[in-house]
Chains A and B, each alone.
Chain A
């Protein structure tokens, strides 16, 4: 096979980038190039450095060392302004557009493109141009619809069209298919292939390796901030297995070493849980003192499943048992009364009372222990101090508003809140997201201790080392159902990854 890259023009050439955060080498001597008309995919586990790299491209981060050449211009760093000027557009998964205006208005927001007269904007021209743009890419989209009324996948299309309306040279797509059903992923791939025909280079980031193999001309594997390998489809054949192997291969000493403790009998059971009428039935049991990992690609339904168990999300049907009693909660109140706690992924939105002091955050669920009618503030200070010391929460005083604490300490406050109340079943969703390595280890130790004391923990995590080192068993969730159960002896990265992909 002949290397067809030679005929194309190199539009982006990134050389020897270094980027460090306190305690983490996010990117080390990283080089990356992009030709017009190609899709260059970037793969790696969470924390491998993919998002650091796209943030450098979009100007959100500045690298310590390295150069970036784009259409002949040499840069040491970008700012968001420069990135836009020189033609780099990034579509983030979490991008937020203006919900209350139409798709077309969103697409051309801040663009001079559609000013038909000098001052006034012609909405008709806008609609026509938006339609044209959508047609070019083979997308069926009602551009006259209010953005928030569109389906998640149509919203994703709007984001991409908005980026394309700026006529970029480089388009970065971060997990573009996350909002899509498996059957619709083909639409995105088709669209991307049309985009590159216009002479745009696409940097494509996704977790699903089969999707990557289908869409990408080249694939670069990133691991712990280092570029491991770049594969070229026109030169070699590669498959998901070989890519997965390259993504893993982490030195073993990075894993937390959990002190093993004996587990008891099955006490907690989820029976016949269905989120929707059409979804698969979910059944599982958990033993006393066990840490059960729930793994899956983002958006596979893990969070929804635990929320349904906790009673904060409507389910189609299903029952929850503890020690043989039916405790199926209809709402969080009943769940808390039965001794179930849920630590959600987004603690700032639904776990903490940011404007309230540390002690009141800790005692808010367990107020019953502070007195029958009148609360004893003395007891409150005493108990709060106990938990602050036990969990090593770093705060200048108990009066400190929680919003002023670091992420790790905030997470410990949420944990303290539930420990003070006393729970039997602790469900945690991404417990160490956004907290530093030391705080992580402390949280792991706490979980281990809790499990040893007979509590059971159900842990959703997308971090491999965390899942592998803490879990006694792992249930892999795919498409709102159980795809695979891994016993302790079967837990390793390859088995988990293949579970994600639906293989055996």
Chain B
């Protein structure tokens, strides 16, 4: 009986190859390629380095928030408030900077505030066991309201004072924001796959009761992942304000649902414990490329909105059909 183990591994490899073709990510990449081919045949500017970097920069903030949303969803959670959380942090940052505080202090305050707000969300969710959707929906309005009060309902301008994160380019070519997005993606990917912490989050998302009975400290993990999410959201709001130079309280209002949509397109599910961050990455990419391609082709922004919505529905329906068949 030589090498029965090898045969098994061989089988594993074949199985995982076959699995990939059934995988949602595979179709996602296929769709992205198809869109790319169509768009570049209509307008040759589409497939230029400049346009691709442009797309990447456009999706960088959304991309980071999608990673946050994906990590939360994999842990069985969700945070609808991340958009307005980013808005609140940005407003606080801007007010402090305008009042003459040092950039260093402002950054520290912004990141700390992110952790605190995330921690509050996590604490309420872990201890009350209420659906995260409802808690964060409520907190979404709380954050927006506070941001309106802090900013007096007026836009806050810091033009020229804090540009590095949003506008600088590495080597004069690659925007820093893209690098940051890729770093956060790599971090989330590693966290999920290669750390005990990530695995336990995954287990909690997959079956909270089983995770609890397996001796996992469920509350601690839930609270900490929301706090970590808050930290990354704080980071995102810095990129946002740096790029825009001027912010309003509702600057992030659309981000949460877009991040949710991108994660879902990427194959992350509400059930938790499933889906891959690579998929979520391509989900955001599809968002960006589609937007850009429709722009380049000259489709009106009204129709673009319809297309985006339709894609969310189609992606989830298709992945669900696959699930019931299997």
| Chain B residues whose CB sits within 8 angstroms of the CB of A342 once the complex forms | 213
| Cβ contact of B195, chosen from A337, A364, A375, cutoff 8 A | A375
**B1-46 contacts to A (CB < 8 Å):** 5, 8, 11-12, 15-16, 19
User: B267 to chain A: closest CB distance in Å?
Assistant: 12
Please tell me which stretch of A100-108, A328-336, A450-458 contacts chain B, meaning at least 4 of its Cβ atoms lie within 8 angstroms of it: A328-336
When the two chains form their complex, are residues B194 and A398 in contact, meaning their CB atoms are under 8 A apart?
Answer: no
Please tell me which stretch of B96-104, B127-135, B198-206, B252-260 contacts chain A, meaning at least 4 of its Cβ atoms lie within 8 angstroms of it: B198-206
When the two chains form their complex, are residues B213 and A398 in contact, meaning their CB atoms are under 8 A apart?
Answer: no
Please tell me which stretch of B214-222, B233-241, B242-250, B298-306 contacts chain A, meaning at least 4 of its Cβ atoms lie within 8 angstroms of it: B214-222
When the two chains form their complex, are residues B217 and A356 in contact, meaning their CB atoms are under 8 A apart?
Answer: no
* Nearest neighbor of A374 in chain B, beta-carbon distance: B194
Which of the listed residues A367, A396, A399 has the most CB atoms from chain B within 10 Å of its own CB? Answer: A367
| Chain B residues whose CB sits within 8 angstroms of the CB of A417 once the complex forms | 214
Size class of the contact patch on chain A: 20 to 34
| Chain B residues whose CB sits within 8 angstroms of the CB of A375 once the complex forms | 193-196, 199
Q: How far is the CA of A349 from the CA of B210 in the complex (A)?
A: 7
| Cβ contact of A349, chosen from B8, B19, B190, B209, cutoff 8 A | B209
| Cβ contact of A364, chosen from B12, B194, B203, B271, cutoff 8 A | B203
* Nearest neighbor of A351 in chain B, beta-carbon distance: B210
When the two chains form their complex, are residues A352 and B207 in contact, meaning their CB atoms are under 8 A apart?
Answer: yes
| Chain A residues whose CB sits within 8 angstroms of the CB of B196 once the complex forms | 367-368, 370, 373, 375
When the two chains form their complex, are residues B213 and A377 in contact, meaning their CB atoms are under 8 A apart?
Answer: no
* Nearest neighbor of B326 in chain A, beta-carbon distance: A404
When the two chains form their complex, are residues A399 and B215 in contact, meaning their CB atoms are under 8 A apart?
Answer: no
| A501 interface contact, C-beta 8 A | no
When the two chains form their complex, are residues A355 and B216 in contact, meaning their CB atoms are under 8 A apart?
Answer: no
Size class of the contact patch on chain B: 20 to 34
When the two chains form their complex, are residues B215 and A335 in contact, meaning their CB atoms are under 8 A apart?
Answer: yes
When the two chains form their complex, are residues B199 and A397 in contact, meaning their CB atoms are under 8 A apart?
Answer: no
* Nearest neighbor of A334 in chain B, beta-carbon distance: B215
| Cβ contact of B210, chosen from A335, A336, A350, cutoff 8 A | A350
| Cβ contact of B209, chosen from A337, A350, A356, A373, cutoff 8 A | A350
User: A48 to chain B: closest CB distance in Å?
Assistant: 32
When the two chains form their complex, are residues A373 and B214 in contact, meaning their CB atoms are under 8 A apart?
Answer: no
Q: How far is the CA of A337 from the CA of B11 in the complex (A)?
A: 37
| Chain A residues whose CB sits within 8 angstroms of the CB of B199 once the complex forms | 360, 363-364, 367, 375
| Chain B residues whose CB sits within 8 angstroms of the CB of A360 once the complex forms | 199, 202-203
User: A368 to chain B: closest CB distance in Å?
Assistant: 7
| Cβ contact of B206, chosen from A312, A354, A374, A385, cutoff 8 A | A354
| B274 interface contact, C-beta 8 A | yes
User: B146 to chain A: closest CB distance in Å?
Assistant: 36
* Nearest neighbor of B275 in chain A, beta-carbon distance: A355
Which of the listed residues A352, A364, A367 has the most CB atoms from chain B within 10 Å of its own CB? Answer: A364
User: A339 to chain B: closest CB distance in Å?
Assistant: 11
User: A360 to chain B: closest CB distance in Å?
Assistant: 7
| A344 interface contact, C-beta 8 A | yes
When the two chains form their complex, are residues A333 and B203 in contact, meaning their CB atoms are under 8 A apart?
Answer: no
Q: How far is the CA of A363 from the CA of B190 in the complex (A)?
A: 17
| Chain A residues whose CB sits within 8 angstroms of the CB of B216 once the complex forms | 333, 364
When the two chains form their complex, are residues A336 and B214 in contact, meaning their CB atoms are under 8 A apart?
Answer: yes
Q: How far is the CA of A332 from the CA of B274 in the complex (A)?
A: 25
| B273 interface contact, C-beta 8 A | yes
When the two chains form their complex, are residues B5 and A365 in contact, meaning their CB atoms are under 8 A apart?
Answer: no
User: B70 to chain A: closest CB distance in Å?
Assistant: 15
* Nearest neighbor of A398 in chain B, beta-carbon distance: B12
| B212 interface contact, C-beta 8 A | yes
User: A413 to chain B: closest CB distance in Å?
Assistant: 12
Binary contact readout A54-80 vs B (1 if CB under 8 angstroms, 0 otherwise): 000000000000000000000000000
When the two chains form their complex, are residues A385 and B215 in contact, meaning their CB atoms are under 8 A apart?
Answer: no
**A380-427 contacts to B (CB < 8 Å):** 385, 396-399, 417
A336 with B195: in contact, given A350-B207, A353-B273, A396-B11 (CB under 8 Å)?
A: no
User: A410 to chain B: closest CB distance in Å?
Assistant: 12
| Chain B residues whose CB sits within 8 angstroms of the CB of A396 once the complex forms | 11, 15
When the two chains form their complex, are residues A333 and B215 in contact, meaning their CB atoms are under 8 A apart?
Answer: yes
| Chain A residues whose CB sits within 8 angstroms of the CB of B214 once the complex forms | 332, 336, 364-365, 417
* Nearest neighbor of B12 in chain A, beta-carbon distance: A397
| Cβ contact of A356, chosen from B8, B206, B213, cutoff 8 A | B206
A353 with B203: in contact, given A373-B195, A385-B5, A399-B16 (CB under 8 Å)?
A: yes
Q: How far is the CA of A373 from the CA of B213 in the complex (A)?
A: 23
Which of the listed residues B19, B194, B196, B217 has the most CB atoms from chain A within 10 Å of its own CB? Answer: B196
Q: How far is the CA of A360 from the CA of B207 in the complex (A)?
A: 13
Q: How far is the CA of A321 from the CA of B307 in the complex (A)?
A: 64
| Chain B residues whose CB sits within 8 angstroms of the CB of A333 once the complex forms | 215-217
* Nearest neighbor of A344 in chain B, beta-carbon distance: B213
User: A374 to chain B: closest CB distance in Å?
Assistant: 5
Q: How far is the CA of A397 from the CA of B194 in the complex (A)?
A: 20
When the two chains form their complex, are residues A399 and B12 in contact, meaning their CB atoms are under 8 A apart?
Answer: yes
When the two chains form their complex, are residues B215 and A355 in contact, meaning their CB atoms are under 8 A apart?
Answer: no
| Chain B residues whose CB sits within 8 angstroms of the CB of A336 once the complex forms | 214-215
When the two chains form their complex, are residues B217 and A367 in contact, meaning their CB atoms are under 8 A apart?
Answer: no
Q: How far is the CA of A355 from the CA of B15 in the complex (A)?
A: 17
When the two chains form their complex, are residues B202 and A312 in contact, meaning their CB atoms are under 8 A apart?
Answer: no
| Chain B residues whose CB sits within 8 angstroms of the CB of A370 once the complex forms | 196
When the two chains form their complex, are residues B206 and A355 in contact, meaning their CB atoms are under 8 A apart?
Answer: yes
| Chain A residues whose CB sits within 8 angstroms of the CB of B195 once the complex forms | 373-375
User: B156 to chain A: closest CB distance in Å?
Assistant: 40
When the two chains form their complex, are residues B12 and A350 in contact, meaning their CB atoms are under 8 A apart?
Answer: no
| Chain B residues whose CB sits within 8 angstroms of the CB of A352 once the complex forms | 207, 210
User: B64 to chain A: closest CB distance in Å?
Assistant: 23
Binary contact readout A339-350 vs B (1 if CB under 8 angstroms, 0 otherwise): 000101000011
| Cβ contact of B213, chosen from A350, A354, A368, A399, cutoff 8 A | A350
A367 with B194: in contact, given A312-B212, A352-B210 (CB under 8 Å)?
A: no
Q: How far is the CA of A351 from the CA of B217 in the complex (A)?
A: 16
* Nearest neighbor of B203 in chain A, beta-carbon distance: A364
Q: How far is the CA of A283 from the CA of B107 in the complex (A)?
A: 60
User: B124 to chain A: closest CB distance in Å?
Assistant: 21
When the two chains form their complex, are residues B271 and A355 in contact, meaning their CB atoms are under 8 A apart?
Answer: yes
User: B279 to chain A: closest CB distance in Å?
Assistant: 15
| Chain B residues whose CB sits within 8 angstroms of the CB of A350 once the complex forms | 207, 209-210, 213
Q: How far is the CA of A385 from the CA of B11 in the complex (A)?
A: 13
**B76-96 contacts to A (CB < 8 Å):** none
**A34-58 contacts to B (CB < 8 Å):** none
| Chain B residues whose CB sits within 8 angstroms of the CB of A399 once the complex forms | 12, 15-16, 19
Q: What are 5 A-B contacts defined by CB distance under 8 Å? A: A333-B215, A350-B209, A354-B206, A355-B271, A356-B206
19 more A-B contacts (CB under 8 A) besides A353-B206, A367-B199? A332-B212, A332-B215, A333-B216, A336-B214, A349-B210, A354-B206, A355-B271, A356-B206, A363-B199, A364-B199, A364-B200, A364-B211, A364-B216, A365-B215, A374-B194, A375-B194, A377-B193, A398-B12, A399-B15
Which of A's residues lie within 8 Å of B, judged by CB? 310, 312, 332-333, 335-337, 342, 344, 349-356, 360, 363-365, 367-368, 370, 373-375, 377, 385, 396-399, 417
In order of increasing CB-CB distance, the 8 nearest A-B pairs are A336-B215, A353-B206, A367-B196, A350-B209, A397-B15, A397-B12, A374-B194, A333-B215
